[in-house]
Each structure stands twice: as C-alpha cells, then as structure tokens.
Structure 1
C-alpha cells in the first residue's frame, strides 16, 4: 500500500506578495524629535566679529542666514518626507563644517549663548537644552533616521521594486541611528535618553529586523527553498530579539510605548514561527514526520507565548496577521499529528534536541551617501593652507596611532601564542590541588560526541526507549490474544449451533475455515518469540553496562578524565605550581593594561582638535605639529614599558613551566588523558550500537502493532460474518417450522369435521375406513415430506424438519447457499527486512 505523504495545501507558504505581506503584519516607523527655534546666525556672527574681524563676519553673513533658514525649516518639519530628508542631510553636513570652525560650549570666550533645545522623542514632556553642537548633530541624525523609516513604510511593498526600496530605506535608517551612537553624544550629561546608546542600538536593530523581513517576504514569494526561507526568517527573529532586549535596558524602561513593545515582541515570535514552519516543510519533504511535528509544536508554543505577553494590546493589522499565522501552523500540525497517529506511529522528538536554524543576514547598516558629500559652506572662513596643514597633522597622528596599536597587538599575540602552546591556564584546572570546580577538559571532538549522548538523554534515554518498546510489544501481544480469543469464541458458538441444528448446517465448520487467520497469528507469535530473545539480550546489556552508560553524562565524563596528581616526594612542587599561577596572573594584568592603553589612544585622538589653534597660529606649522604630537609621548612610553614587562613575565613563565612539566610528569598525564578519551570513545560507540538496536526494535514493534491490530480486526470481522450467517439459518428454520405447524393443524381439523357431518350412527366409521384406509400421513400433502408414517387418528406429533434448508417440497429456493464467504485478504505492509508471509524481527 502506498503511504506517500502529499504536501499540505498552503504548506509552501503564500504565493503572492500581498497575501504574504498580510501574514507578516505591519512595520514600524519612528517619530522625529520636536525642536525650538534659536538665533544661530546672530550668535555665530558676533563670535566671528569678536575673535577675527568684522570683515570675516560679513563674509559669513550669507551662509549664516542660509543655515538659519534651513534650521527653521528642519525644526518645523512640515515638509514631505522626501524634501525633509534632503534638508536634514544638508543641515547635518553644514553642522559638520561648523564644528571645525565655530566652538559651541559653556565657555564665555566661545559661542555660549546658543542653546539647542529638543524634546524627547519617546517622552515629549522631557526636553534638553545644550550648548554643544554634537547634541544638535545627534538630534538631526535622529530625525533623519525617523524620516527615512517613514519613507520605508510609504513604499508599495506589494511590488517587487517597492519591497526592495523598503529594504534599502530600512538599512539606511539603521545606518543613521548607528551614526547617532558614533557622535558620542551619550557621554554628554543631560543629552536625552532617546539619544543614548541603548536607544540607538534598539532603533538600529529594529530597522535591520524590518529590512531582513522584506528579504524574507521576497524570497518566499519568489519560491525559494524552505531552507533559505527558514534562515532568512531566523535572522529577522534574531534582529527583533536584539531590539526587544534593548527595550528592557534600565535607561529605556517605561519610556517605550506599550504598543511598540508588543509589536516587537510579537514580531520576534512570528518570525521564529515562520522559521520553524519552513523547517517543518523541509522535514515533510524528507518524510521525517517526527521532526515536522516537533517544529510545528515549537512554532505554536512561540506564538502562544507571544500572545500571552501581548494580551489585548495589539493593533488590528498585527492581530490579524498573528491569527492567520496561528491558523496556518495549527492546520499543518493537526494534519501531521493525524497522519502520525494513523500511519507512522513515530516518536516525536523534543524540539530542543533538534538542530537550530542558522540565520542568514542579508542586511547591514548603511550610511546614506549624501551625508559624506562635501558642501560649500563657510569655505572662505578657513584658509586653504589651514585645511592642508590640518590634513598633514592628521596623517601624522594616524601614523603614530597605527604604530602604537601594532606594538600593543604584537605583544598580545606573543603572549597568546605561548599560552596556547603550553595549554595554559587549562593545565592548572586539571591539578588535583585545584580549587573546587577544577576539571580536566575533554577533547573537542569527544566533547561533541558526549553532547550528542546528553541531548538524547544518556542511559535514561535508552531505558525510556526500551520501556516504550516493551509497551509496543505488550500492545502487539494483546492484539494477538484478542484475535485468537475471537476465533476461539467463534468456534465454540459454531459447535453449539451445530449440535442443535446438525442436519441443517450445510456450510463448513469454523475450525475448518479459520486456519489462515490462526496461521497468521502463529507466525506473529513466533516473530514475537524471536524478538523477545533479542529484547532479553538488549535488556541484559543495558543492565550490565548501566554504570558505564551513566558515566557518559557531562559531569561523570569530566570525572573520568585523569587529574594531574601531586608528586609523592618533591620539595618544590608547591612553589612551582604557585609560581606558574602567579606568572599567569601577571600576564593577565598586563593584558588588561594594554586594553586600557588602546582605549586611551582612541580617546586622545578624538579630543585632538587642532583646527582652532591652526586657524589662529601665525608661526611655523612644523613647530606646532611637533609640539602637538608630543601629547602622545606618555602613551608611547607606557606601551614600551608594558611590552618590556610582558616579555620578562613571559620568560619567567617559560622557565617555571619547564619545571612544572617535568615535576608533574605532564607527558604521562597526557598519555593517560588520551587513554581515558579512547575508553570514552569506545563507550560512546557502544551507546550508539545499543541506540541503533533499540531504534530497530522500536521500528519492528510499531510495524507489528499495526499488523496485529489489522489482524485482530479481520478476526473480529470473520466472527461477525459467521454469526450473521448462523442467525440467518436459525431464523429460516424457525420460520418454516411455524409454517409446517400451521399446515398440520389445518389438516387435522378438516378430518374431524368430516366425521361429525355423516349424520348416521355407525356409517361414519365405514366412511372413515373407506376414505383413509391404507393412507399415511406421508401421502397427504405434508410440507415436511420426510416425517415418519403414522395413522391419521394418532395424536399429533411435532418434529424438527429433517431436510437441508431450502430443499423441502413446495418451498422457495434461496438465491445462494450458506457456504462461508472467502476470507478477506490479509494485506500487510512489508515493513521489516525479514518479512516472509508475516511480520518477523531481524536485529
């Protein structure tokens, strides 16, 4: 019989982009910050006139007025998204130019009267007022990212070009929010929580998640393979999860709208469910129904958890998408479970034991190209020679930073390679004298094999599998006993009826026609006996090797690895081990110092703003550069000192390790470790052999259960068919018995009436003699036809009919005899390698 599994309707996912868009639900756009006007042009002009000249201030007048108008338009924010984006990009480029020319700060000698006031995007009641141009840059970037996200949701995502454009916009929005973080505005006190690193990370991940979702939609509509769709959905789920984790940061707590939180949480669960759904499609194509059900169960559980978290606070379109996805997964799950319960009878694995899908990132944060374009503002305010000189100094700084960074990395690499060569600090963990929690690491390939054993459940998993096998065996034996009992009861009932109606039973006895079924039962019992011998062998192996199998657990396996023992007689072992630990601590301290030096280098470079000095400096730029570059000398000295100390500590480590290796006989310990690992590998192989035998046994018993159940049904149908046949025979006999009784009583009554009507005493006897002389009942039209001869005057005598049913005189003949119909064919699937007219077990 062909049990091939057809694909479930709709299980390959939606085929048009509009339906898919409905199933994935809506996407989010960010709302921008609201700002207030400030007279930027007046304050800057006053500063230029005071610190440079009136002519310089006049030369900047046109550009300053243009900047003032542009800022007022940006703050109003009443333009369409396309124009608003262009204005924000232009204004940000101007701010970058102004940062290099005009100092905005609290210092009264600089531009201190300009306060950049912006409201918080998440809590509009909160606002910030800072005299730092970086705060203005960050606010403009935030609004630019918000505007680009609004462009994304306005695209026609039902078209191929529209969904590509939406993905591009979301990636650009992510890149802009990343730039907010890169401005360093979060380090400015009272800069606003919506400009914090936590907020920027959350918005960047959210935009990337929605961009990845666009790729997932397109791949599904384009008919990509389920594996590709699953990986794309998994990556979208990872982005959504990261965004969700960002929202739980203390700085953002109680600031994000509940509808947003529910949206992100629900989208995370939906993309995970889509991933699991497409994995189940792959399993279905491979006829792996156990994994298919496990994936669908995990998807259903994820959606239920998300719905429980969200409550009733989902927007209508997202609620509709969630319901639609729940229906798709529940329908597929019901079909798969029904197929498994009726046909396959496969054990459903734990979803956590299955391989996890790997994400396939198709998106990244992209900075809009327009932000890096040059702009012709205040170009006359900075002389060309200043710009060229600044470029020369910047090259000097970059070269210095690069050289120092290379020195730090070279020292770190030397230490790391030497520690790897000596297998430190792992060797110290293997000491018997190590603090509680010490252990000997298990080799990586063996550790993976032990993880496989642990994921299956180890010895408990084998015992559980064997217990399930025994249940299958008991079920099969019960079915065979029920089948045999049905046949025995049928033979008993058949014999009883035959004793009562022996001469009327023209069809064969039950014990003559049920032998094909009994032979099949006998074959199954013999197969069970053979299988039981195998089961006893497996049970014996499980029992005898229980301790060994349990030793393959994580803790037990670690305890089997030998520890480095302390020498019995040695006066310097304690000093050697402690000296080795001290050397490692010293190297770790120096590594931490190097990390700190790299941070100091980056911070010093960020603060190194030479332009204000360069613009006001009248001497030789070479002298200025030599003077300024000296600020890096202290760091140079610290890096050289760290490298020297690291080399000395590393030399000490080599010397101490040589003694440690000899005193503690590390070479022999490694031999012992390899032997212990080899023993565990053999044990793992033995575990796999037992597991394979149990799997084969389980497959045998599930096949036998299915076949035994079918045989039990056939025996029941056989008994029912025989019972109906006998009931029909008995009813026919009783009907004819009643008809014969009625005919017999009618003939007797007519004879007595004739004698009473003669009227002449004595003449009646003569007439009777004349009429009935020599006549027998058999000569009368007697429907029985075979009754014994007797005189008419004899007492009435009833007897059972002595003919075969349907053969009496003047009786209608039945259309067919009572012969037992042919036994229904026992068509069993050959599900075992040893099948030969029945089910047998071969393992």
Structure 2
C-alpha cells in the first residue's frame, strides 16, 4: 500500500458570533425587517461555525463541504462588517495543528481579533481535511484515483493560497503550522502526491512507458523540491523528511524502470541494463534508510526480475555495452496536475446569508452621504426657519397682526388667543421648568458614563503596558495605547459636546427668565388673560380703512409664504434616493468609490431646485416686510394716540414675543441627552481582556513547563534539523504529529510565574 502524507486539523476555541454581530446590525440598520433578516443570518452563521469547527469531522466530502461553506461565508461577510480591534472586536483562538501539548496540558496557540486569521485557519483545515480524504481513497480503482488527485490538488491550492496571504491577513508572526514556509512546503507535498496518483492511474491504464516515465520523473521532481524546502528547517514533524526522501527515490526508480522498457523496445539493451541498475540502487537506498516509513518490496522484486532477465539476454545474445548512467539521455517530465485556484465560492452549495447586506465600503460611503444629505436638509430647513423667526420677530415688534385684530381695544386678539392655546397644549410653563430641573442630573449622568468609559480604557492600557514591560517581545499583541487612540479622540469629542451644552443651557435659562412672566400669563384662562391686558379707547374709525386693508393683504401674503415654507420643509425632508445602487455600481466597475463626487452630484440634482425656491422665498419675504413696515407707519399715525393704547400694544408685543421664545426654548433645551454611546467600548475592552487572559495562560503554562533555573528558555518556534526515528514496521499512511524545538531564550524567571497569577 502506498504511503501518503496527510495533515491534522487545527482546533479552535468556541466564539459567540451572535451577540456582537446582532448588536452591530441593530445599531446600523433602522428598519425592523432588515434587522430581523440580518439577525437570522447571524444566527445561521454562528450555527455554521459550530458545525464546521465545534465537532470532530469525518473524512468525507460532506464534512469538507461544511468547512468550505463556512470559509465562503467568511469571505462574503468580511467586507460587510467592520471586523477590527477597535470596531467589531471578535477574538479567535486557534491551536497549532502540529503541537500535541505537554504533560502539563499546555499547547501552542494564538488568539487574534482578526477575521483574516479565522479565514486562514479555516482554509488550513479545509486543506488538511482534503488531504485526509485523499489518503482514504481506494487507489485500486479508477474512481478512487480520480478523487485522490482532485483532493490533493485542492489541498495544494489552499496551502499555497495561505502562503501568499497569511502575513497580510494577520499583520503579525503566525504560529508555525500556518507560516509561509510550512504551508509552502505542504503545498508542494500535496502537488507531488497528486502527481503520484496520476502516475498510478497511468500505470493502471497501461499507458505507454514513455508517458509513465515522464509522469514518475515529474513526481520525483516535486518530492525533491519539497525535501529541499524542509531539509534544514523544523517547520514540519520529523516523520515527514524521510518520507519525502523515500518518495523522491521511489519515483525516480519508477521513471528509470519504465524508461528501461522504452530502451528495450528500441533495442538499446545496454541502456536498459544501466537504467535498471540505477533503479535497483535507488530502491536499495530506500530499503536501507527509510524502511520504517515505506515499503518497496514489490517494486524491488519487479526491478530485480527485469534486471536479471535483461542481463541474461545481453550476456548470451546482444553483448551490448552498458553505459554510465550519467551518459544517458535525461528522462523528460510531464506535469498533469496543478494546484487548485482558491477563488470563492469553493462550495457547490454556498448561498450568501448576507446577500442583501451591502459591503462596508458602501456602508461607509452611505454614512458619509447621509451626513452630507442631513447637512443639506438642515441648511435649507434652518435657512427657512431663520427667515420665519426673523419675520415673526419683526411682526411682534410691530404688534402685528394683533394691532389689526384689536381695533375694538377691549377683547383678546385672535392671534394672541391662538398662541396661548398652543402653549397650553405643549405643557405650558411646567413643561419647560421640568426640563430645566432635569438638566443637571442628565448632564451629570452623561459625564459619569464618559468618565467610567475612559477609566476602563485607562485601566486596561495600564495593565497592558505593565505586562509588555515585563515580558517584552513575548507580549506580542497590538499595544492598547495605540489601539485606543481613536476611542480617546471620540471621548474628547463627547467631552467637548458636554462643555458646549453647559454654555448653551445657560443662554436658554436666561431667555426663559426674561419671558417667564409673559409665558405664565399666556398659560392662564382666557378670562384672566383678557383682564391682564390693558384696555384702550376704541379705534373703530380705522376699521375698513384702506391702510388696514393693505396691511391685512400684506400679512395674508406673508402667511402664504410661511405656509409654503412648511410645505416645502416637508417635501425636503421626504426626499429619498437609494445611493447604495450608485456606490455598488462604482465599486463593481472601479474597485473603489469616489463618494464625494457621486454624493455632491446627486445632492445637487435632488435639492438644487429647492435651494432656488428657498432663495426666492427669502427675497419675497424681504420685499413684503419692507412694505409692511411702511404701511404700519401710516397705520400708526392714523391711530388715536393715548397712553392706554400704547400700554396695551406694548403688552400684546410682549405676549407675542413670549410665545415665540417658548417655542424656541422648547426645541433648543438640552433635554435630548440620552446616555452617551461610549459604552460599546466595553465590548472592545472585554475582548482585549479575554485576549490578554489567553496570552497570559499560554505564557504561564510555557514557563511552568521549563526546568527550574534562575533564567530559562521559553518555548518558541525555531528551526533544528529533523532526524528520522528508528523502527522496524513500515507505516501504510503518514499523519503529521507534533514536532517543535525550544531554542529561543528569554530572561523570564519564576518570579514571572507569580506575576502572571496576579493578573
């Protein structure tokens, strides 16, 4: 039975994907339908991980399909969630596939908050399982040979892909099993085994000896390359090196055997004997050095029988000269296998759980676009509201329209009555006073949340710095100080917001105190309000006069302008456009998104006409206010001048101003302080603590396993020459086992073990 190398699977710690991903979905997507759909997808992703990594997998295609489906889903989901240490922080812990641990239970593992790390390890497992499935195939039939070749090529492609991407995916030194050197060697080994399977199929199909010889020679070349790569490195278990050396010799021997048959057909009997002698020497070398790993008895017998027959025929019949092997023509090579290209999706049953979710690049562009859109809307709406407030202020200073409604001089003007009812409906004076009373407590609570969040960052960063100082290069994770820079900047922004809030609230309180008396009067019953307004002599002579009619007409036009603004404000707020389509198209076409160019162009199209209408509205108001002031001067000169009338008009002006101030105070009060969104940093700190605990545990176990000494070695991945172990029985199959050296020294002492226990 042929001996083939297969790779053990890596083991992973359990990770809950549901909670952090669901939290991101709820915070990012507004509609309940989107949230429900994506949360279901998150739960399915979590189940998929458990099926792929949370249980032993059979050496069967169905198990490989689960791994590939999970890998495909990771590739699909990566651009759609902000996986990073300072955003969506998920720590994945994986053990070295070739490390079996010590007697004390320690093992080599690495914990990283990196989805790229998770993808790399999952793809490693897919390659490893493919190698195991291939090694289980029955090579005595055609179907088994085809399956083995397919899976070895898949394994080769997966290991090769890891070699090219692992350093950029991790941004730090990986464990030995997924290092570029290790997976690069594994890729060549798997390709060599695929080529060997093709050689076995060609032999089984009784193809021409010339073809079989080239296939065998190519396999020998692949095995030779793999042997050279790991000959002076300890990146693979010690059993692998002798197997590669043996396979190199065996494939060379097979190439010479079939090339000798070709020489016989061409009546080159001396060449036939020379090649068979070389093949016999190669097999003899394998039998003497690597007998415990592979069996060459059948091949040896076949070669010796052919050699004996060839010598006999040549001695008695042909008497052809036997040349030196170095003088013979080189055997050609024929590579009929190649590493499978890793281009997701790899699974035939893959269906993207988050197909409708847009990539993060689009989400980020959408976020910036929404900010630009909000700024545009706020600018237009703010401009109109400013103009309306200015208009109301001017009319209040002129006591309009109350002056026209108060020509009788003894009843509440209709506009004042409406303003009074509006204030009562909004809660009156008690509503504002309650909001003002709540302000200090709300402000204090938000300061406490902010201080507690920053304190958590300080505490974790201090601990990280102490451990980094103590263990130097052994403490190999991103420094907390560097990681928390954007979070501290965010905290400073929140602090600035709170400081500005204090100043703004003081202005609001001062304005409230100025108009408190008049607001109180507007909250009273209509009879009390009427009694509080001074009466005046009737000015009925002005009723029906031309100036009054002109003023009323002008005020009616002004009301139309204000109503048009209210309608326009609703239209502006209701404008919708799905920019995600434009961003997705740009991303697909160019690979990047020029958000500013696309957003500005689209916003100009959406709001350009509204901007023109707003400016036209401002100009119309300015013209009308000029006309109203001119008409009011004429109206005032016609009114009978007396003290009572002046007092009444002054009170009516104050009441109108009080109403406008009430509305503005209510909308501007800082009662909309909700607890700050700084608490999600707890998830990041918690993830960092989990990662720290994992690293501390590994260090403690490593130190505890070392011999007692003032200063001693710490286990590290280093290279030492691998030597084959002795043993009489050849193994039909080879599975990798643990093999790591511990040659790197560090100045960690037993005092460090006690220090580890204090954290």
TM range (shorter): 0.3 to 0.5
Higher relative contact order, structure no. (Cα contacts within 8 Å, ≥ 6 residues apart): 2
TM superposition score normalised by structure 1: 0.41
- Computing the radius of gyration from Cα coordinates, the structure with the larger value is 1
